[in-house]
A and B are shown apart, each in its own frame.
Chain A
Amino acid sequence: MKINCLMTILNVLLFIAAVTAEAEERFEAAAMIDHIDFVHVTAPDGTAMFDTETPQGNNAILDYVSGTGANTILWRVSSGATVRYRSREESMPPVRAPFDKRRLPDNRHTWGWVRYYEAEPDILRYVVRECAKRDMSAGAHWPFEETHWWSHTFGAWNLEHPQFWGMTADGLPWSGRCSLTYPEVVAHRLRLVDEMIDRGVRRFFIDTWRTGGWSPAYEYVAPEIRRWKARYECEPPADATDPRWCAFVAESTHAWFAALRQHLDSNGGDMKLMLGVADIDMTPGARDMTLIERGIDWRCLVKEGIVDTLVVMSVDWDKKRPFESTREIYQAVMNYCDGHCRVLFPVSMYNFTKKGLPEYHRTTGLSLPDVTSVMVRMAWEQGADGIAMECVDYNNYSAATMKTLRQLFQGPCKFKRMAKSKNRVKERTEKTR
Chain B
Amino acid sequence: MRLSLIAVLYLLVFSGCRTLPPCWCRVSEISAVTDGRGNDTEVVWSPDGKSIAFQTDRYDKLRVCVLNLDDGKREIADAGTGDACYPAWTPDGGLIYAVDQRYGTAVEDAPSGDKACSGCGLRLLENGVERVLTQGYWRDYTPVVSSDGKTVYYTSTRNHQLPPGVRDNPLNSSMNGASIWRLNLVPDNSERTPECVYEVFARSFGSVQPSLSPDGRTMVWAQIQGFRQNWRLCAAQLASPYNFIHLTPPEMSAYAPRISPDGRFIAFTGFMPGDPSWGVYVQHALSGGIARLDTGPGNSKSPCWSPDGRELIYENNRSGFYKIYRARIDLREPAAFMPAAGCVEAGLTGSTIAARLQNVGALPVLKAAKGEVTQGRKMSEGGWSFRQPGDMVLGKEPFFVKVRVVIDELPEKGTQVIAMGVYREHPLGWQLYLRENGHLTFGSRDARGDFVGVQADAPADTGRALSVLAFRDAEGLLKMAVDGRLQHACGIGPADIGLHHCENILLEQDAAGKRVLKGRVVEFECGQGYPASLPRITRKRLFAGEMQ
Binding site for B on A (CB under 8 A): 39-40, 48, 51-54, 57, 92-94, 96-99, 101-102, 104-115, 119, 147, 149-152, 160-163, 167, 170-176, 213
In contact, B110 and A173 (Cβ under 8 angstroms) = no
Q: Report the 6 A-B pairs with minimum CB-CB distance, sorted nearest first.
A: A113-B106, A104-B206, A53-B105, A162-B271, A107-B160, A98-B141
Q: How far is the CA of A54 from the CA of B450 in the complex (A)?
A: 43
In contact, A101 and B222 (Cβ under 8 angstroms) = yes
B-side contacts of A92, CB under 8 Å: 39, 322
- Indicate the member of B108, B203, B204, B228 with the most A CB atoms within 10 Å: B228
**Selected interface stretch from B8-16, B43-51, B162-170, B391-399:** B162-170
Contact residues of B between 110 and 142, Cβ < 8 Å to A: 110, 118, 120, 137-139, 141-142
Contact residues of B between 83 and 122, Cβ < 8 Å to A: 83, 85, 98, 100, 102, 105-110, 118, 120
Partner of B176, one of A151, A160, A170: A151
Separation in Å of the B373 CB from the closest CB of chain A? 39
Partner of B106, one of A101, A114, A161, A170: A114
A-side contacts of B162, CB under 8 Å: 107-109
Separation in Å of the A236 CB from the closest CB of chain B? 16
Q: Is B146 located at the chain interface by the 8 A CB criterion?
A: no
Q: How far is the CA of A40 from the CA of B166 in the complex (A)?
A: 10
Contact residues of B between 456 and 512, Cβ < 8 Å to A: none
B-side contacts of A171, CB under 8 Å: 251, 273
In contact, A104 and B106 (Cβ under 8 angstroms) = no
Partner of A110, one of B83, B107, B208, B255: B107
A-B contacts besides A92-B322, A99-B62, A107-B160, 19 pairs, CB < 8 Å:
A52-B107, A98-B120, A101-B141, A104-B177, A104-B224, A107-B138, A107-B175, A108-B162, A109-B165, A110-B107, A111-B167, A113-B106, A115-B102, A115-B105, A115-B106, A119-B105, A151-B206, A172-B251, A213-B228
In contact, A40 and B253 (Cβ under 8 angstroms) = no
A-side contacts of B178, CB under 8 Å: 98, 104-105
Q: Is B337 located at the chain interface by the 8 A CB criterion?
A: no
5 A-B contacts (beta carbon < 8 Å):
A98-B178, A102-B255, A115-B102, A151-B224, A162-B275
In contact, B227 and A151 (Cβ under 8 angstroms) = yes
Separation in Å of the B153 CB from the closest CB of chain A? 15
Separation in Å of the A104 CB from the closest CB of chain B? 4
Q: Is B278 located at the chain interface by the 8 A CB criterion?
A: yes
Contact residues of B between 255 and 297, Cβ < 8 Å to A: 255-256, 271, 273, 275-278
Q: A40-B164, A105-B176 are in contact. Are A147 and B227 (CB under 8 A)?
A: yes
Closest to B178 in A: A104
Partner of A173, one of B106, B222, B273, B276: B273
Q: A96-B100, A150-B227 are in contact. Are A170 and B447 (CB under 8 A)?
A: yes
Partner of A98, one of B155, B271, B275: B155
Separation in Å of the B120 CB from the closest CB of chain A? 6
Closest to A161 in B: B277
Q: How far is the CA of A174 from the CA of B250 in the complex (A)?
A: 10
Partner of B227, one of A52, A160, A213: A213
Separation in Å of the A345 CB from the closest CB of chain B? 29
Partner of A150, one of B108, B204, B253, B447: B204
B-side contacts of A114, CB under 8 Å: 105-106
A-side contacts of B157, CB under 8 Å: 98, 105, 107
Q: How far is the CA of A167 from the CA of B208 in the complex (A)?
A: 24
In contact, A48 and B107 (Cβ under 8 angstroms) = yes
A-side contacts of B155, CB under 8 Å: 98
Closest to B140 in A: A98
Separation in Å of the A61 CB from the closest CB of chain B? 13
Q: Is B147 located at the chain interface by the 8 A CB criterion?
A: no
A-side contacts of B204, CB under 8 Å: 104, 150-152
Partner of B167, one of A51, A52, A108: A108
In contact, A167 and B273 (Cβ under 8 angstroms) = yes
Contact residues of B between 229 and 272, Cβ < 8 Å to A: 230-231, 250-251, 253, 255-256, 271
Q: How far is the CA of A17 from the CA of B107 in the complex (A)?
A: 57
Q: A99-B62, A107-B177, A162-B275 are in contact. Are A149 and B253 (CB under 8 A)?
A: no
In contact, A53 and B139 (Cβ under 8 angstroms) = no
Q: A96-B100, A108-B167, A173-B253 are in contact. Are A39 and B107 (CB under 8 A)?
A: yes
In contact, B110 and A109 (Cβ under 8 angstroms) = yes
B-side contacts of A99, CB under 8 Å: 62, 83, 85, 100
- Indicate the member of A92, A109, A163 with the most B CB atoms within 10 Å: A109
In contact, A109 and B255 (Cβ under 8 angstroms) = no
Separation in Å of the B221 CB from the closest CB of chain A? 11
B-side contacts of A213, CB under 8 Å: 227-228
Q: Is B174 located at the chain interface by the 8 A CB criterion?
A: yes
In contact, B107 and A109 (Cβ under 8 angstroms) = no
A-side contacts of B100, CB under 8 Å: 96, 98-99
Q: A51-B108, A107-B162, A173-B230 are in contact. Are A101 and B255 (CB under 8 A)?
A: yes
Partner of A152, one of B62, B107, B164, B176: B176
In contact, A107 and B174 (Cβ under 8 angstroms) = yes
Q: Is B352 located at the chain interface by the 8 A CB criterion?
A: no
Q: Is B161 located at the chain interface by the 8 A CB criterion?
A: yes
In contact, B251 and A104 (Cβ under 8 angstroms) = no
Q: How far is the CA of A176 from the CA of B105 in the complex (A)?
A: 28
B-side contacts of A98, CB under 8 Å: 85, 98, 100, 120, 139, 141-142, 155, 157, 178
Separation in Å of the A341 CB from the closest CB of chain B? 34
Closest to A149 in B: B227
Separation in Å of the A300 CB from the closest CB of chain B? 29
Q: A51-B108, A171-B251, A171-B273 are in contact. Are A107 and B176 (CB under 8 A)?
A: yes
Separation in Å of the B306 CB from the closest CB of chain A? 22
A-side contacts of B255, CB under 8 Å: 101-102
B-side contacts of A97, CB under 8 Å: 120, 139
In contact, A110 and B164 (Cβ under 8 angstroms) = yes
Q: Is B299 located at the chain interface by the 8 A CB criterion?
A: yes
Q: Is B209 located at the chain interface by the 8 A CB criterion?
A: yes
A-side contacts of B271, CB under 8 Å: 162-163, 173
In contact, B164 and A109 (Cβ under 8 angstroms) = yes
A-side contacts of B137, CB under 8 Å: 109
Produce 1/0 per residue, B364-408, CB < 8 A to A. 000000000000000000000000000000000000000000000
B-side contacts of A115, CB under 8 Å: 102, 105-106
Q: How far is the CA of A112 from the CA of B231 in the complex (A)?
A: 22
In contact, B231 and A102 (Cβ under 8 angstroms) = yes
Q: How far is the CA of A108 from the CA of B142 in the complex (A)?
A: 21
A-side contacts of B176, CB under 8 Å: 104-107, 150-152
Q: A107-B177, A110-B107, A114-B105 are in contact. Are A150 and B167 (CB under 8 A)?
A: no
Q: How far is the CA of A115 from the CA of B101 in the complex (A)?
A: 13
B-side contacts of A102, CB under 8 Å: 231, 255
Q: How far is the CA of A52 from the CA of B137 in the complex (A)?
A: 20
Produce 1/0 per residue, B163-198, CB < 8 A to A. 111111000001111100000000000000000000
Q: A40-B165, A96-B100, A162-B271 are in contact. Are A113 and B110 (CB under 8 A)?
A: yes
Closest to A221 in B: B273
In contact, B277 and A109 (Cβ under 8 angstroms) = no
A-side contacts of B160, CB under 8 Å: 105, 107
- Indicate the member of A97, A102, A149, A152 with the most B CB atoms within 10 Å: A102
Q: How far is the CA of A160 from the CA of B118 in the complex (A)?
A: 27
A-side contacts of B39, CB under 8 Å: 92-93
In contact, A174 and B228 (Cβ under 8 angstroms) = yes
A-side contacts of B253, CB under 8 Å: 162, 173, 175
Q: How far is the CA of A96 from the CA of B139 in the complex (A)?
A: 11
Q: A107-B160, A163-B277 are in contact. Are A173 and B251 (CB under 8 A)?
A: yes
Q: How far is the CA of A111 from the CA of B105 in the complex (A)?
A: 11
Separation in Å of the A122 CB from the closest CB of chain B? 15
Q: How far is the CA of A151 from the CA of B230 in the complex (A)?
A: 11
Q: How far is the CA of A115 from the CA of B103 in the complex (A)?
A: 12
A-side contacts of B447, CB under 8 Å: 170
B-side contacts of A101, CB under 8 Å: 141-142, 208-209, 222, 255-256
